[in-house]
Structure 1
């Protein structure tokens, strides 16, 4: 049975994790598609072009070959860097957010000055995440950090998507239970979405630290907070210090949303000493 478009998109995101990998893959195997890429084009648009102009059967075959090759297969988690699983959700009926730009800014910050990093962090983005995929992604990736970017609701829910791109809300109780079962190496959860403070308070029953938002937060403020926070963590700053540096960055900008992010932590965790660990 041929792979569906959604399945092809998921494999592209999993196997071609950097923009350079995506550009190289398309250029070598599907030049008609890559010829339509332009400088500054975001990853989502490039993926859509590849899906539109590449033969689905040929694309599925090349992705399977990449998956089976030692170079393309995911490396054992313990041998790799700290893994940041970035979940982007923007259902079609909600306000459209600049999520690909946020992910790119985080990736750019993590790439800059890489030889000096104390804790190398690898961002693993997943786009248009369906509620039904969350369990599989946690099992498959076993992240150290789980980051959600999208919409939250006033009833402590996260708004994922269904197969048609419509809203599929995830209730707080279900999320907390799932994290409790599948936390494994998970040390930090970041919910970069509006009104997620109640959720992070519940999540620290299971994980050391969690970051959420007291109220609505703008696209630019969310991206500024995330890129600064993860950059500081990658240089070995404790989670508490990285959080404060990200808030300072918001205070230094015209955005002035430094009071929106909140950090919660499990009882007994010293956030001034606690760092991300492999």
Structure 2
């Protein structure tokens, strides 16, 4: 695979015939999936799995997924065969030369084969005649060691290490778990096939949707952050108001991240997205859980928060959810009561798509103002200026070999109209054209 943003596809094949000793293959799959999901490059890897694989399933799975890495987990024999399943789930052996013949036909598509099975060194050697990297086991290997190797291997691969380096990390992972089997995995490298899986240069214009959570990816809202903390330190709460996709969620997240260094009065920063909350009851459960107090509402909640040594900075994203069925004005009234006063147990930062008076217009029926609007100073989040958009593009391209043309930059600025999410999506597509050599 060329150094581009083309995803790395991994095909996990598991076979555990009913007439053989049972293995923890699904645990291995779960652990691999979890490690890839937790990595910074999680968007660069696609893991597809096939369980209870029969002989006839092997080629179909490869044709369907078109993987760069094929990972087999199961049983092997001391004479070099691998166990797959027959039509009734019993053992069916496949010889090393048959596997070698299969991968010979796939040599230009597949870069690495992992045979996580006992005595799989023999088929690994045979397959390595045609595939750049092949990993096997030179002896019988236990479940814990096999799983540890897989976790270490894919954890390193997702951290942009080469396949050979990832192999060594897999062996080290076995050692770290105190299992004396780290010499059992072996790797065969064939220098003649052209390698496709190299160090990944991911598309820098991510995430395309959702909030930016990585500090190094946050950009362009320093003036807003400064103003927000000026308001918070004056004793008021804040509402971030702006259109969908303008960057409110990312800004809210970043404010929580840096709050410790900017607040004059120490507060515990607590963030949660109201889109994850079902109803009013769920809201109180989540609030108490995140703050670390016993589940409560009303007076008990107020008392618990006032008795805490550390006050709270509560950041609520998508606050418009409070207008949905299942929520009453009581939630907003209590939040106001908790956030009023210089020594209030709560200080609020809210993110909404429209001004709070318009959002919570049920208050108008009683001739009242919205309780939250009464205590929150609104900060309108504006689209980025042209200069900021240009700086953003330059910053994201800094560590790549790609440079956008002036004509492309002008078009990106004009089409995005200063909306960060739209600009991110447009830049992603532009970068992808370069990566794919179009």
Structure 2 counterpart of 1:263: 187
Q: Report the secondary structure of 1:190's partner residue.
A: strand
1:196-211 equivalences under 5 Å are: 196-211=120-135
Q: Report the secondary structure of 1:124's partner residue.
A: strand
The separation in 1 between residues aligned to 2:183 and 2:152, in whole angstroms, is 15
Structure 2 counterpart of 1:275: 198
Question: Conserved in 2, the CA contact under 8 Å of 1:119 and 1:236?
Answer: no
The separation in 2 between residues aligned to 1:252 and 1:227, in whole angstroms, is 12
Q: For this pair of structures, how many residues does the alignment match?
A: 198
Structure 2 counterpart of 1:89: 15
Structure 2 counterpart of 1:141: 65
RCO higher in 1 or 2 (8 Å CA, sep ≥ 6)? 1
- What is the deviation of 1:153? 0.7
Please say if 1:236 is aligned against 2:157.
Answer: no
TM-score by length of 1: 0.66
- What is the deviation of 1:183? 3.4
Match of 2:136 among 193, 207, 212: 212
- What is the deviation of 1:202? 1.3
Structure 2 counterpart of 1:227: 151
- What is the deviation of 1:241? 1.1
Mark the CA change 1:80 to 1:274 in structure 2 (over 3 Å): closer, same or farther. Answer: closer
**Structure 2: which 5+ runs fail to align?**
201-435
- What is the deviation of 1:118? 8.3
Structure 1 consecutive aligned stretches of length 4 or more whose deviation exceeds 3 Å? 267-271
Mark the CA change 1:239 to 1:119 in structure 2 (over 3 Å): closer, same or farther. Answer: farther
Q: Report the secondary structure of 1:84's partner residue.
A: strand
Q: Report the secondary structure of 1:152's partner residue.
A: coil
TM-score by length of 2: 0.43
Question: Conserved in 2, the CA contact under 8 Å of 1:119 and 1:276?
Answer: no
Question: Conserved in 1, the CA contact under 8 Å of 2:151 and 2:173?
Answer: no
Question: Conserved in 1, the CA contact under 8 Å of 2:111 and 2:133?
Answer: yes
Structure 1 counterpart of 2:288: none
- What is the deviation of 1:237? 0.3
Question: Conserved in 2, the CA contact under 8 Å of 1:224 and 1:249?
Answer: yes
Question: Conserved in 2, the CA contact under 8 Å of 1:119 and 1:235?
Answer: no
Mark the CA change 1:84 to 1:227 in structure 2 (over 3 Å): closer, same or farther. Answer: same
Structure 2 counterpart of 1:103: 29
- What is the deviation of 1:119? 7.9
Structure 2 counterpart of 1:164: 88
Q: Report the secondary structure of 1:87's partner residue.
A: strand
- What is the deviation of 1:152? 0.6
Instruction: Output the aligned Cα RMSD.
Output: 2.4
The separation in 2 between residues aligned to 1:228 and 1:256, in whole angstroms, is 15
Structure 2 counterpart of 1:179: 103
